[in-house]
Amino acid sequence: MTNEIKSDGESSQENDLLEPQVERGRSNRKEHGLFKVIISFLGSMELAISLFVIIGIASIIGTILQQNQVYNTYIVKFGPFWFEVFRSLELFDIYSSWWFVILLGFLLVSTATCIYRYAPVIIREWRQFRLNVSSKSLKLMHSTGSWNTETTPNETAQFIQEKLANGGYQSRLKNEEGIITIAAKKGAINRLGYLFTHGAIIVICLSALYDGNFNLKLREAAGQLKPETRDLFASQVPDISRLKADENHAFRGNANVPEGSTTGLVFLQMRNGFLVQELPFTITLNDFRIEHYNTGMPKSFESDIVIEDIESGEKISKTIEVNHPLFYKDFAIYQSSFDDGGSIMDLQAWSLDDSKQKVVSFQQVVGQNKLMETSQGEFKLELTEFKALNVQPNPKAEETGRKFKNMGPSLTFRLRDSSGQAKEFINYANPTTQEGRYFFLSGVRSTTTEPFRYLFIPADDSASLKRFFGFRSLLSNPEEMKRIAEKTAAMSLPSTGVPDPKRIAQMAVVMQRLAELFNQGGFDLVLNDINEKVPEDKRKDVQDSYFKVLQTILGTVYLEVLQGENIDISKNITPAQEQYYDDLVNTMGVISKYNAPFFLQIKSFEHKEASGFQITKAPGKDLVYLGCTLLCIGIVLMFYVANKRIWVIISPSTEGQGAQLLVAGSGDRHQKEFAKEFQALSQLLDKQYTTH
Amino acid sequence: MSTTGQEMNNLFEKQSFWRQLGSFDWVWAIGLVLASGYAWQQYSSLMDVYEVGILFGTVISLIAWGWLWKPVRAYTIAVALLSLFSIYLYGDDLALGETNFFLKFLISSKSSIMWMSALYVLATVAYFIGLFIGSEFSNKTASAMTWSATVMGLVGLLVRWRESYLIHVDVGHIPVSNLYEVFILFSIITALLYLYYEGKNKNYNMGGFVLLVISSAVAFLLWYGFGSRGASEIQPLVPALQSYWMKIHVPANFVGYGAFALAAMLAVAYLIKDSMTKSGRNGAIINRIPDLEILDDVMYKSIALGFAFFTLATILGAMWAAEAWGGYWSWDPKETWALIVWLNYAAWLHLRLTKGWRGRPLAWWSVIGLFITLFAFIGVNMFLSGLHSYGEL
Ligand code: HEM
């Protein structure tokens, strides 16, 4: 074996001295012609670096272009032409596209080739001491020195081996015709680092590939599988999009399970479609809980689930939460999301139509739609989201000392008219306080990007909407209003003199008309009316007197409503009742802007949640971890174990019994550190021997 | 044979490792053992197996660290005393942070961070003065300020940890959960890495360059933490972050980022010195910058260290993901960018180790590497959405 250590003239640094030479590695194997060319291409550093760069760039594209969105989103974004181009390049699902997997495959092959070429050299360097060195090559080394000894070569060798052992070096000795060669090494295991890191890459890539959906893609290409793109129930999905429990060794899918329900299926996403994967067990969700911090941020998501093995009937109950999945056989079940599982809402729609006042009660499940007949036509009521809790920053944290308050349950819904236009509403079930008074809150907006504008409807003494809608209903009833207007007019005219029936009648007409305008459009409409009909110079006076009149009749209506509630109004009304009146009038003034056919009140509800599970089977996981461990060990060996070598040649002196000592060494990638070490050795030898 | 101290330390003489240790080393070790024993005795009933393991693991690594890099001892003691004093002053009352003099102006978390910020910026200036006028005094002051800033930064984090528990037990968590907190961590780690090389090479002149990144981090930190975003407020953890993995994944990542940043700044120094010498303009200032060879070597070591920690951090991240998201790899933007950073430095290392590249091209590459790293670190949070969107801007 020729293991000449030669100083590399080209490199200014001595680092390359112990480097595995590609030439050497190659010369060790019998490689011919084409094979040789292929191997040297696949194992070339140029290819490796290019792959690093190309994979890097492809990955960047995948992070900039959002992956796996609904195809429509892309069409809207890029237009049909570019959409088609991108789709055919599989840019919407880069990481499992053919070309990306092929790139990774190249990296794999390239790394494997590298190992194939270097491994023999590496192992040799790790195991061997390299006793075949010549004095000439030692003298060429960076760290080198020579001494004369008075001790015999054998004694000298013994001394030196002892010292080398102290310094942590292993050494071997060769005695050839009286010339003793000692080869010592330390940290040669550094060389194994190469095998570990590069072997790790192979292990990791292969196991990750095994866990990926490559097999499904192959079967899809062979026409055995077809992802379903329609919005179907699991039971309606045809067989070509279904996978039996034992048909797929690795997958990652999702299942949404409402409380109290059971499922034995998961959905595997594939580009813009999905496959239905059957499981060998069923999952039942008994309960789903969300806990909150007092800031309203979620603190934990937990699901109580029961797993039942379909074959053995074995049952396991467990609570899973984020960061605490359930591992069952080869499967892992994760808490990944949550949703409404079809909460049942008891609702009451109070008509806001000012001609027909009525109240409808009904039940509806969240997530479902219902057609509602209203005076403004047919509307589709879509219940979109129910939240049992709404914790929000408390604007009055200073006073109350509580930073957050719970607004209670809320229901988000959409009202879609026959032309397809929809408005979104959010209604709170419980009245909330504002300056000590209670209001029912409803937010409205016409696009999801704008903020909600809120309508506050005052809650009456029994925390209900009765009084408010009673008032409205009275106001909308022409006969009743006529009666009330006449009564009010009679009372409000000056009591001195004889009441003039004509004036009273006139007054009553004005009153009724003002009340009607107010009912339709609040004070704004009244003002508009005045502005239209009254010349500018008189407006101010007319306004004042009209508002006075309006207030009078509204007041009377209010008193009648109170009376209707069997409240004794012969005594003074309470400040609370007075306050209620102000709030009522304020709300009535703006309710026309709410512009909805009815106000939806949440009477009661049965909250049902659904838990989103991610269910995975990844048999390659442990191998990936093994690879990761190898990778870490390899990196530490490569960077932090210094591979150092020292050689000593002891030749008998020409005169006397002493010897000549030639010592040299190299520290591979750690030359500086080694130079210090060599200096220490030299000092020690200086003391013992005379320098040559 | 006479035995002088120097010979005692000769690697090739038979000797015991223990005899090399000085008395302060022993005081250090014994002190730590006593402190942890006390902690164990007081709190063992509250700890589970892992926590006991962590406690003693920490003590052992601290002892070893202090023996291997001596300044760690004084540093740890300073941090411990200040943090404990702050925690003691707080008692159970978070409101004292606003009223107690020491807390309000010195060692509440916010004030410590402010001190850290100010000291880093001052140190940057002092290092540059040192570099330009060659003042040893300025250099030493800068170094002392950097040490102090690093003390204050860690105190700030530790006290913040305690403060989070004072808000509410439920809220309590290790402060590595949002961008504000990790920027502090980044500053400290980068500074420590730099200080290690400074001590080892006895050269102060790279300080200005390295502290420049830290000062930028500080600027970001102040803008992000105390600007309109108020990220310096302690927030409770969302469920996805409530995991032991976070405690090791994040710090490991930041050793990586810190080391890459250090390497990039050394590369800048390298490039400046190289082009100045090439164009024949090597005045005193340029001469004060360490030799190109040293810069190149330290840059390599720094990237090697960063690569090792970054690999570890990415693996830990994968293991965490396998527990939280249902898969060790999801091609989430943050994960993908970690891979990009990793591939980038893998390429760098290959070019250096197998192709024998040195000097300018690799220095440029390190600088570019910093931008890639920076994108993975904040850019992803700013511009891309994904599972990792905790620290959004
Ligand atoms: C993703 C794939 C790869 C990774 C992560 C990787 C990682 C590394 C690392 C970290 C080193 C560091 C070295 C040291 O201190 O010596 C290294 C060295 C090396 N790599 Fe790779 N490598 C990969 C692929 C390849 C490929 C494809 C080749 C073949 C062309 C290759 C050839 C080498 C060689 C020859 C060395 C120097 C070994 C030595 O002399 O110590 N690597 N690699």
Please give the full DSSP string across B109-120, using - where no structure is assigned.
HHHHHHHHHHHH
Does residue A259 share a domain with residue A150? no
Q: Which of A355-359, A635-639, B95-99 has the lowest mean pLDDT?
A: A355-359
* Locus of tokens 């760690």: B72
The finding on whether A196 has its CB within 6 A of some atom of ligand 1 is no
Does residue A511 share a domain with residue A388? no
The mean pLDDT value for A64-91 works out to: 85
Higher pLDDT among residues A490 and A114, named by residue: A114
The mean pLDDT value for A557-582 works out to: 84
The finding on whether A472 has its CB within 6 A of some atom of ligand 1 is no
Contact B319, A21 (CB under 8 A): no
Would you call A322 and B344 a contact, using CB atoms and an 8 Å cutoff? no
Comparing CA positions, the residue from A614, A615, A613, A617 lying closest to residue A261 is: A613
Comparing CA positions, the residue from A7, A23, A25 lying closest to residue A122 is: A25
CA B304 from chain center: how many Å? 16
Chain A contact for B55 (CB, 8 A cutoff):
no
Q: In this model, does residue B389 exceed pLDDT 60?
A: no
The SS3 assignment for B311 reads: helix
Higher pLDDT among residues A144 and A671, named by residue: A144
Q: Which residues pair with B71 in a beta bridge?
A: none
Q: Give the model's pLDDT for residue A15.
A: 35
The mean pLDDT value for A459-470 works out to: 87
The SS3 assignment for A439 reads: strand
Contacts of A23 (CB under 8 A, 6+ apart): none
Ligand 1 centroid to residue A368 C-alpha, Å: 58
Confidence band, pLDDT 50/70/90 cuts, at residue A354: low
Contact A513, A475 (CB under 8 A): no
The finding on whether B2 has its CB within 6 A of some atom of ligand 1 is no
Confidence band, pLDDT 50/70/90 cuts, at residue A617: very high
CA distance linking residue A683 with residue B293, whole number of Å: 26
Helix axes A671-688, A153-166, angle to 10 degrees: 140
Does residue A511 share a domain with residue A567? yes
Comparing CA positions, the residue from A190, A145, A11 lying closest to residue A669 is: A190
A131-to-A2, A489, A648, A649 alpha-carbon distances in Å: 11, 125, 10, 10
Residue A633 within any structural domain of the chain: no
Identify the domain containing residue A314 by its residue range.
Answer: 227-249+251-340+610-617
Comparing CA positions, the residue from B297, B246, B248, B247 lying closest to residue B270 is: B297
- Specify burial of residue B231 (Cβ count, 10 A radius: 0-12, 13-18, 19+): buried
Q: Give the model's pLDDT for residue B199.
A: 92
Q: Give the model's pLDDT for residue B215.
A: 96
The mean pLDDT value for A497-524 works out to: 82
Q: Give the model's pLDDT for residue A150.
A: 86
Contacting B residues, span 179-198, partner chain A, CB-CB under 8 Å = none
Does residue A401 share a domain with residue A482? no
Q: Which phi-psi region, left, alpha or beta, contains residue A189 (left: φ > 0; alpha: ψ -120 to 50)?
A: alpha
Residue where a domain terminates, one of A436, A459, A482: A459
Q: Closest ligand 1 atom to the C-alpha of A114?
A: 29
Contacts of B168 in chain A (CB under 8 A): 293-294
Q: Give the model's pLDDT for residue A196.
A: 95
Residue A9 is given by DSSP the state: S
The mean pLDDT value for A569-580 works out to: 82
| Residue-wise pLDDT tens digits, B217-274 | 999 999 988 876 677 888 888 888 888 888 889 999 999 999 999 999 999 999 999 9
Contacts of B311 in chain A (CB under 8 A): 631-632, 635
Q: Which residues pair with A315 in a beta bridge?
A: A308
Residue B105 is given by DSSP the state: I
Q: Whose CA is nearest to atom 9 of ligand 1?
A: B346
Does residue A277 share a domain with residue A231? yes
Would you call A681 and B12 a contact, using CB atoms and an 8 Å cutoff? yes
The mean pLDDT value for A344-351 works out to: 91
Q: Give the model's pLDDT for residue B269.
A: 93
Phi, psi torsion values for A504, nearest 5 degrees: -60, -45
Does residue A350 share a domain with residue A327? no
Alpha helix (H) residue ranges in A128-234: 135-139, 153-166, 190-211, 214-221
The SS3 assignment for A663 reads: strand
Angle at the Cα of A312 (from A307 to A318), degrees rounded to 5? 20
Angle at the Cα of B31 (from B27 to B32), degrees rounded to 5? 120
- Find the residue in A nearest to B383 (Cα): A64
Does residue A527 share a domain with residue A444? no
Ligand 1 centroid to residue A446 C-alpha, Å: 59
Q: Give the model's pLDDT for residue B303.
A: 96
Q: In this model, does residue A26 exceed pLDDT 70?
A: no
The SS3 assignment for B15 reads: coil
Q: In this model, does residue B10 exceed pLDDT 60?
A: yes
Ligand 1 centroid to residue A638 C-alpha, Å: 10
Contacts of B13 in chain A (CB under 8 A): 163, 166, 684
Q: The tokens of A639 are what?
A: 């960077």
Q: In this model, does residue A9 exceed pLDDT 60?
A: no
Q: Closest ligand 1 atom to the C-alpha of A20?
A: 40
Residue A296 is given by DSSP the state: S
Q: In what order do the strands lie in the sheet with A170-176?
A: A170-176, A179-186, A644-652, A659-666, A143-149, A690-691
* A447: number of Cβ within 10 Å: 8
Would you call B325 and A336 a contact, using CB atoms and an 8 Å cutoff? yes
Would you call A62 and B336 a contact, using CB atoms and an 8 Å cutoff? yes
Does residue A668 share a domain with residue A594? no
Does residue A588 share a domain with residue A550? yes
- Specify burial of residue A17 (Cβ count, 10 A radius: 0-12, 13-18, 19+): buried
CATH number of the domain bearing residue A305? 2.60.98
The finding on whether A110 has its CB within 6 A of some atom of ligand 1 is yes
Does residue A597 share a domain with residue A489? yes
DSSP string, A594-658: H--SEEEEEEEEE--EEEEEEEEE-TTHHHHHHHHHHHHHHHHHHHHS--EEEEEEEEE-SSSS-
Q: Give the model's pLDDT for residue A142.
A: 87
Residue B241 is given by DSSP the state: G
To test the contact with chain A by mutation, choose from B4, B11, B245 the residue with the greatest count of A C-beta atoms within 10 A, namely B11
Comparing CA positions, the residue from A266, A262, A338 lying closest to residue A300 is: A338
Chain A contact for B5 (CB, 8 A cutoff):
no
Q: In this model, does residue A146 exceed pLDDT 60?
A: yes
Contact A298, B238 (CB under 8 A): yes
The finding on whether A20 has its CB within 6 A of some atom of ligand 1 is yes
Ligand 1 centroid to residue A10 C-alpha, Å: 22
Residue A183 within any structural domain of the chain: yes
Ligand 1 centroid to residue A48 C-alpha, Å: 9
| Residue-wise pLDDT tens digits, A207-247 | 988 988 888 888 988 988 898 888 778 888 888 999 998 88
Question: Residue A651 carries which side chain, given as an amino acid letter?
Answer: S
Q: The tokens of A373 are what?
A: 């007949």
CA distance linking residue A56 with residue B344, whole number of Å: 8
As a whole number of Å, the CA-based R_g of chain A is 44
Question: Residue A162 carries which side chain, given as an amino acid letter?
Answer: E
| Residue-wise pLDDT tens digits, B174-223 | 998 888 999 999 999 999 999 999 998 888 989 999 999 999 999 999 99
Q: Nearest C-alpha of chain A: how many angstroms from B294?
A: 10
Confidence band, pLDDT 50/70/90 cuts, at residue A687: confident
Q: In this model, does residue B16 exceed pLDDT 70?
A: no
Contacts of A99 (CB under 8 A, 6+ apart): A89, A90
* Locus of tokens 């990296």: A107
Higher pLDDT among residues A690 and A276, named by residue: A276
The finding on whether A19 has its CB within 6 A of some atom of ligand 1 is yes
Contact B158, B79 (CB under 8 A): yes
* B46: number of Cβ within 10 Å: 7
**Could you give the percent of chain B with pLDDT greater than 90?**
56
- Find the residue in A nearest to B293 (Cα): A13
Residue A160 within any structural domain of the chain: yes
CA distance linking residue A665 with residue A672, whole number of Å: 12
Q: Give the model's pLDDT for residue A337.
A: 85
Q: In this model, does residue A396 exceed pLDDT 80?
A: no
Q: The tokens of B6 are what?
A: 């120097």
Q: How many domains does chain A have?
A: 4
Contacts of A196 (CB under 8 A, 6+ apart): A630, A631, A633, A634, A637
Q: Nearest C-alpha of chain B: how many angstroms from A393?
A: 13
Angle at the Cα of B107 (from B101 to B111), degrees rounded to 5? 90
Q: In this model, does residue A476 exceed pLDDT 90?
A: no
Residue A533 within any structural domain of the chain: yes
Residue where a domain terminates, one of A617, A651, A672: A617
Q: The tokens of A301 are what?
A: 């998501």
Q: Which of A185-189, A263-267, A334-338, B324-328 has the lowest mean pLDDT?
A: B324-328
Strands A262-270 vs A273-292: parallel, antiparallel or unpaired: antiparallel
Residue A368 within any structural domain of the chain: yes
Write down the mean pLDDT value for chain B.
88
Q: Give the model's pLDDT for residue A178.
A: 84
Q: In this model, does residue B6 exceed pLDDT 80?
A: no
The SS3 assignment for A250 reads: coil
Alpha helix (H) residue ranges in chain B: 5-8, 23-43, 49-68, 71-90, 96-99, 101-102, 109-133, 136-167, 179-201, 207-226, 244-278, 284-288, 292-324, 333-353, 360-374, 380-383
Angle at the Cα of A554 (from A553 to A558), degrees rounded to 5? 115
Contact B122, B147 (CB under 8 A): no
**Among candidates B304, B319, B358 on the partner chain, residue whose Cβ is nearest the Cβ of A639:** B304
Does residue A182 share a domain with residue A163? yes
Strands A242-243 vs A251-258: parallel, antiparallel or unpaired: unpaired
CATH number of the domain bearing residue A138? 3.30.310.80
Q: The tokens of A603 are what?
A: 């009477």
Q: Nearest C-alpha of chain B: how many angstroms from A463?
A: 35
Residue A137 within any structural domain of the chain: yes
The finding on whether A107 has its CB within 6 A of some atom of ligand 1 is yes
The finding on whether B346 has its CB within 6 A of some atom of ligand 1 is yes
Does residue A662 share a domain with residue A543? no
Q: Give the model's pLDDT for residue B27.
A: 92
The mean pLDDT value for A446-470 works out to: 87
Question: Residue B347 carries which side chain, given as an amino acid letter?
Answer: A
* B80: number of Cβ within 10 Å: 17
Residue where a domain terminates, one of A459, A486, A510: A459
Q: The tokens of B23 are what?
A: 């008395």
* A488: number of Cβ within 10 Å: 24
Confidence band, pLDDT 50/70/90 cuts, at residue A23: very low
Helix axes B49-68, B71-90, angle to 10 degrees: 140
Comparing CA positions, the residue from B235, B367, B259 lying closest to residue B313 is: B259
CA distance linking residue A624 with residue B319, whole number of Å: 10
Would you call A166 and B325 a contact, using CB atoms and an 8 Å cutoff? no
Q: In this model, does residue A22 exceed pLDDT 70?
A: no
Residue A530 within any structural domain of the chain: yes
Contacting B residues, span 357-376, partner chain A, CB-CB under 8 Å = 358
The finding on whether A197 has its CB within 6 A of some atom of ligand 1 is yes
Q: Nearest C-alpha of chain A: how many angstroms from B81?
A: 33
Question: What's the pTM?
Answer: 0.82
Longest dimension (CA), chain B: 72
CA distance linking residue A45 with residue B91, whole number of Å: 60
Residue A540 within any structural domain of the chain: yes
* Locus of tokens 């090739």: B12
Q: Which residues pair with A320 in a beta bridge?
A: A303
Write down the mean pLDDT value for chain A.
85
* Locus of tokens 């200080």: B195
